[in-house]
Amino acid sequence: GESVGLHLPTLSVQEGDNSIINCAYSNSASDYFIWYKQESGKGPQFIIDIRSNMDKRQGQRVTVLLNKTVKHLSLQIAATQPGDSAVYFCAERAGAGQFYFGTGTSLTVIP
Amino acid sequence: DAGITQSPRHKVTETGTPVTLRCHQTENHRYMYWYRQDPGHGLRLIHYSYGVKDTDKGEVSDGYSVSRSKTEDFLLTLESATSSQTSVYFCAISGVQRTDTQYFGPGTRLTVL
């Protein structure tokens, strides 16, 4: 199957700082990518997505960057807040609509 | 959770017993999915459905069966639960095409003793 991994399993940031969470994907044919946020005891929550014909997409306090050359995806969270503490994972859509999910990075925001 | 409910939310059962998990959606989405989530693994697809009575296997389908008799309900059955099926199970839905973004339910934590 596909391999979608993350560079760092845990990340701690000070409240108010910016956070960057990284993801490497393996299938150069993947055409769509999603970042999910998962709080403890809850289901994954859609944050932001990006298609492979884009390099950058911005949402509210979040930005996703896609570097197809090195097959790398990142999620930037501006002015990180305690409510941002969660596990973040990426998903890539490969052929035939199959999604593959990363294992996640645990983000802890220090007040 | 995008109009998706799962029941039960927690269940403890014994090896060898049958277990059925239910996913209910109010979005009228065509596609429904069952995933399991385990430490050290990303979400792994068990089965999915692309319409009433239309289902297909995912990458970890052994030991599981599914049924979809109504658009809004998707059932996952463990015919004879094993300890290796202890996991958190998530239901997801997507719209018109399988390639559409998937939205997840709150999950069911299943423990098989």
Q: Which domains does chain B have, with CATH numbers?
A: 4-112 (2.60.40.10)
- The secondary structure of A38-74 as a DSSP string is E-TTS--EEEEEEETT-SEEE-SSEEEEEETTTTEEE
Q: What pLDDT does residue A95 have?
A: 72
For residues A75 and A64, is the Cβ–Cβ distance under 8 A? yes
For residues B32 and B23, is the Cβ–Cβ distance under 8 A? yes
Q: List, for residues B88-100, the tens digit of each pLDDT value.
A: 999 999 987 777 8
Would the CB atoms of B45 and A32 count as touching at under 8 Å? Answer: no
Would the CB atoms of A44 and B43 count as touching at under 8 Å? Answer: yes
- Band (A3; pLDDT cuts 50, 70, 90): very low
Would the CB atoms of B42 and A101 count as touching at under 8 Å? Answer: yes
Candidates A27, A35, A87, A101: best to mutate against B (most CBs of B within 10 A) is A101
Closest-approach residue (CA) in chain B for A30? B99
Nearest chain A CA: its distance from B47 CA (Å): 12
Q: Which residue from A46, A91, A103 is facing B41, i.e. has the nearest CB?
A: A103
| Chain B residues with CB-CB distance to A4 below 8 A | 42
Stretch B59-76: mean pLDDT: 97
Q: Which residues have a Cβ under 8 Å from the Cβ of B39 and sit 6 or more positions away?
A: none
Would the CB atoms of B104 and A43 count as touching at under 8 Å? Answer: yes
Q: Which residue from A43, A100, A101 is facing B1, i.e. has the nearest CB?
A: A43
Task: Give the count of domains, chain A.
Answer: 1
Least confident of B37-41, B66-70, B82-86: B37-41
Beta strands A105-110 and A10-14 are: parallel
Q: What pLDDT does residue B2 have?
A: 64
**Is residue A31 over pLDDT 60?**
yes
Query: Counting one residue from A and one from B, how many pairs have CB atoms under 8 Å apart?
Result: 46
Nearest chain A CA: its distance from B81 CA (Å): 22
Candidates B31, B44, B49, B101: best to mutate against A (most CBs of A within 10 A) is B101
Q: List, for residues B23-39, the tens digit of each pLDDT value.
A: 999 999 999 999 999 98
| Chain A residues with CB-CB distance to B99 below 8 A | 32, 93, 97
For residues B94 and B29, is the Cβ–Cβ distance under 8 A? yes
Kindly state the percentage of chain A with pLDDT values over 90: 81
Q: List, for residues A6-29, the tens digit of each pLDDT value.
A: 444 899 999 999 999 999 998 889
Stretch B92-109: mean pLDDT: 89
- Band (B1; pLDDT cuts 50, 70, 90): low
Stretch A51-56: mean pLDDT: 95
Q: Could you tell me the residue range of the domain that residue A104 belongs to?
A: 4-110
Report how far residue B75's alpha carbon sits from residue B69's, in angstroms, rounded to the nearest whole number: 9
CATH number of A38's domain = 2.60.40.10
Would the CB atoms of A43 and B107 count as touching at under 8 Å? Answer: yes
**Is residue A56 over pLDDT 90?**
yes
